Structure 1
Amino acid sequence: MIPSNVVVHQQSKVLELAYEDGQTYRLPFELLRVVSPSAEVQGHGPGQETLQTGKRDVVISSLEPVGHYALKPTFSDGHDSGLYSWEYLRFLCENQDQIWKEYLEKLAAAGLDRDAPMATTGHSHGHSCGSH
């Protein structure tokens, strides 16, 4: 399930994953950012998710491998705590239309706009400050 090639397309804002079975997928940065597997986004249990908004223009500023099992992107909004396993990336590739639909439905249910700036909550500070 490990892609044979991974390309970050800054201009079109997609992460391209090519697999040896000939399949190539393009995951939008925005999708990757809003479904980040990090605790900051997913919370620590069901119903704890923090709905991400205003990520349309976020880009992946760097991408580093974590061992042989995951990729760790650093996004231009400073988010870097998501570890995307190969399985998770493949899952996103194969289900991105459904995942995107669910994301939009969650936004609608919460009365939020996709481009609304993120509300700053008190508990998100301290995780990602690089000034220690």
Structure 2
Amino acid sequence: MAGLTPDTPTPTALTVHAQSRVLEIAFSDGSAFRIPFELMRVYSPSAEVQGHGPGQEVLQTGKREVTVVELEPIGNYAVKPVFSDGHESGIFSWDYLYFLGSEQARLWTDYLQRLEAAGMQRDAPMVAAGGHACGSH
């Protein structure tokens, strides 16, 4: 899911909408999505968010107002957003952005269910998880 496959549609337009906090992206197959920055941030493909394997995901909170302050191109296959909360280690490939856009409704539902199961609120501040010594972020 994180790598570029030969079948992956490529972006034809990509616009950062700072005020409405969405990434608008159109693809070569005619699909177009408006991906909220919050969704991008809570589903960042970085090890900091995803962990290093299944079950190691770190539930993100307090990201409703996050913005993208910079969007760095990574070759011809991805972008690396710098978020206003300092997070900048996630590389979003074209197929991962396509996945986020096309699966938005399901991903939001899953996120809200995970928050509820953890007894957390969407706008609660992040609590630092101690003992993490990952050198990837």
Quick check: TM above 0.5?
A: yes
Once superposed, which parts of structure 1, at least 4 consecutive aligned residues long, lie more than 2 Å away?
20-23, 121-128
| Structure 1, gaps ≥5 residues long | none
- Kept in 1, the 8 Å contact 2:47–2:136? The answer is no
Paired residue total: 128
Letter in 1 for 2:103: N
Query: In the alignment, which residue of structure 2 is the partner of 1:65?
Result: 73
Aligned identity (percent) is: 59
Asked whether 1:43 is paired with 2:51, we answer: yes
Contact 1:34–1:52 (8 Å) recurs in 2 = yes
C-alpha separation in 1, matches of 2:28 and 2:86: 32
List alignment gaps of at least 5 residues for structure 2: 1-8
With the length of structure 2 as denominator, give the TM-score of the two structures: 0.88
Which whole-Å CA distance do the structure 2 matches of 1:104 and 1:124 have between them? 28
- Aligned 8 A contact 1:62 1:74 in 2: yes
In structure 2, what is the Cα distance between the partners aligned to 1:53 and 1:125? 20
The structure, 1 or 2, with the larger RCO (C-alpha pairs under 8 Å, 6+ apart) is 2
Q: Is 1:86 aligned to 2:94, yes or no?
A: yes
Q: Output the amino acid matched with 1:21.
A: D
Q: Which moved more, 1:14-23 or 1:29-38?
A: 14-23
- The Cα shift of 1:124 comes to 6.8
CA contact (8 A) 1:72 1:83 kept: yes
> What CA deviation, in whole Å up to 9, does each residue of 1:83-129 have, x standing for no partner?
0111111011111100110000000000000000000123279765x
Quick one: which amino acid aligns to residue 104 of structure 2? Answer: Q
Which residue number in structure 1 is paired with residue 3 of structure 2? Answer: none
> Could you tell me how far 1:49 is from its partner in structure 2?
0.4
